[in-house]
Structure 1
């Protein structure tokens, strides 16, 4: 996307980052649930549509949905952390402040870190 086509989104994100008030005429939607539903895993029940934002009779303005209780069972997935080869020198520099012997490599690492 060209920067000129993204000016409004950039301005809104800057206002949000600085926690400034929303300009008049800007609609705000509070998402209390993910906007995308993941595919259910094999053998698990599908999720309901309760709690999704609903439009009211007031010109399509979204109302705050009812909050569903958080389920007590959560899926836990083990993720093994591996460092990609291109990041090893950078991480070593950040952790131990050591640089590669080659001057060009050392300059690249300090620039990227």
Structure 2
């Protein structure tokens, strides 16, 4: 018996719910393959109120406490599934070499090296983290005096763990600092994703922070998402106030 805290994942794996995402389909196929090596296997959903073990482990991870005896810790750095490679189509000229197609095939080593190089470029720390990391790791400050004071003041709320920047929340939870693009995607998924319910801006920001993420423009990004959401605008509460100020009518 395998227990999971995501009811959607459990239903998709047990074939009671259709899997639409390519990533989830790949994970489900891997589960079906591994299931054949056992005499029997079944997934069951555990509600949040009954999932005390997961809450205890989450608290250990957020506080960076020592792992208690009897608890096995495994750090997974790579996905269990292999992502589908995309074949790039190139329009060939009449005098082109027929063997030139190998340069765009997914299994081409040169193409894999180019993809790996692209990933390394995208892994550069975002701009808003650079001054904090430079000051906390190498004691480097911006040339501007005002900006340097601002960096020194803000650095008191942050810490560096394994080269990654974390923010200490008021509840003692370490929130991993992410880029603005990643934060926008997280808010979009919380707001109108598979389990999204089109909540307000403050609600989805609070959910993102409770999940252990932080970026400085979270509230502004959430307000922009909610204000541009077509469904939210369609079913929002309509004001009944008049469009213009009321005018008094003189009585003769």
Which protein has greater RCO, CA pairs closer than 8 Å, 6+ apart? 1
Going by fraction, where is helix more abundant, 1 or 2? 2
| TM-score, normalised with respect to structure 2 | 0.21
The structure with the larger Rg is 2
